[in-house]
Amino acid sequence: MSPDDPVESSALDILDRQILHALVQDARIPFAKLGSILEVSEQTVARRYRALRERGIMHVSGQVNAVPLGHARWVLRIKSTPDKALGLAESLARFPDLSWVTLLSTGSEVTCVSRPRSLERRDALLLHTLPRASQVREVIAHEVMHRFEAAEEWPRFSHLFTERQLNELGPRRTGCELDRERPRPLDTPPNLTPEDETMLTLLGRDGRAPYAQIAAETGWTAPRVARRMTELVQSGVLYFDLDFAVGRMGYGVRAALWLRVRPAELDAVGRAMVEHPEIVFAAATTGPTNLMASMICRDTPHLYRYITERLGALDGITDFEVTPSLRVLKQAQTLLNSERVSLVR
C-alpha cells in the first residue's frame, strides 16, 4: 500500500464510500437501484445517506453552469491586507455567484470561483464591489478556457466495486464538465422560466429533492419536472455536484497550483494532471499563469511527494506556484465549518 493511498477513516466504512462513489456517478440514483447493486436493502442505503448528510460529511446539490448560457467562469485571486483577509473571505462566501472561497496560507490572499449568471452581475463584482472594498489591494481574474475531465471523479472509490457492479452503475450521469463545456446542439441556450428558477433553487439546496416536492413548488406535474430536469441536464445548464468534508475522510491538506506551461504542451499536461489521484480540478486559464489546479493530499509530506514525483515528471511546465489553503470557507454550495459542510443560509 502506498503511503499516499486513502486511509481507512473512522468516519466512513466501505458501504459509506460505495454510496459516495455511486452519488458521484449519478447524484439522483434511486436508492432501490443502488441497494440492489450493493446487495443491501433500499432502507439501508437511505439510512446511510441521511446519516452522511446529518453528520455534515457530504451534500448533493444541483448547480447552474453559466457557460451554455453564454457567460464565462473566472478564478479570482484577491490580495488583501492581512488583518482583513478573513473578514473578506467570510463576506465573499455569502455571494451567490461565488464558490470555492478559500483563505490561503499566506493569510493575505483569498481565492474563489465566480460563476455570474449575467454580464451585469459579472461587472458588478469585478468593476464595482471588489475595487471599492478598502481591504482589497489587488485582483487577478483568470478566465477558465477549458476544464480537463478525469476518467474518474474524486474521491475515486471505484476500486471498492466489482466489475459487474460498475457496469450496473453505468457511466457518470451528473452532467460531466466535459459535456457542459461542449457547444450545445441547439442554436440558442434554453430560456429559463420562473418555474425553472424555482426548481434550480430547490436543487441547489438539495440535489435529490423529490419530483413531487419540486412539482408542488413550481405548479408543474411530477412527470413534467422530470422531463424539464432531463432537458436542462442534457443542455449542460444543470449539473449535480457533491461537497465533502475532506478532513473527516483522512485528508489534511488542500492546495492550489498555478502553473506556466508551454502552449504546445498545455493540453497534454492538463490531461495528465487530472488523472492524478490528488487532483480534483484542473483547467486552462487566461492570466499570468495558464493552468490552474486544485489538489487534496493526506498531509504535507504527501504534498511534497506529489510536487517532486508526479508533477516533476511532466514535460512542458516552466514554472509553478503552490498555495496551500489555510481555510476553505465555501465549497460549491456549502459552507465548511469545523470540517462539517452546511448550507449557506
Q: Where do the structural domains in the chain lie, given as residue ranges?
A: 74-146+332-343, 185-235, 247-325
Q: Residue 100 is which amino acid?
A: W
Put simply, whether the predicted model's pTM sits higher than 0.85 gets the answer: yes
Separation of alpha carbons 184 and 178, rounded Å: 12
C-alpha torsion sign, points 132, 344, 342, 218: negative
Provide CATH code, domain 247-325. Answer: 3.30.70.920
Q: Bridge-partner residues for 239, per DSSP?
A: 63
- What CA–CA distances, in Å, run from 4 to 119, 250, 259, 273, 295? 43, 11, 23, 16, 13
- Equal fold, 185-235 vs 247-325: no
Euclidean distance between the first and the last CA atom of the chain, given in angstroms as a whole number: 42
185-235 architecture in CATH?
A: Orthogonal Bundle (1.10)
pLDDT in tens, the chain (345 residues): 455 655 445 579 999 999 999 999 999 999 999 999 999 999 999 999 999 999 999 999 999 998 888 889 999 999 999 999 999 999 999 998 999 999 999 889 999 999 988 889 889 999 999 989 999 999 999 999 999 999 999 999 999 999 999 999 998 875 444 344 444 444 567 889 999 999 999 999 999 999 999 999 999 999 999 999 999 999 999 999 999 999 989 899 999 999 999 999 999 999 999 999 999 999 999 999 999 999 999 999 999 999 999 999 999 999 999 999 999 999 988 888 766 888 766
| pLDDT for the residue 180 | 42
| pLDDT for the residue 257 | 98
Backbone conformation region of residue 108, classed left if phi is above 0, alpha if psi is from -120 to 50, else beta: alpha
Q: Which of 319, 259, 255 is nearest to 283 (CA)?
A: 259
Provide CATH code, domain 74-146+332-343. Answer: 3.30.70.920
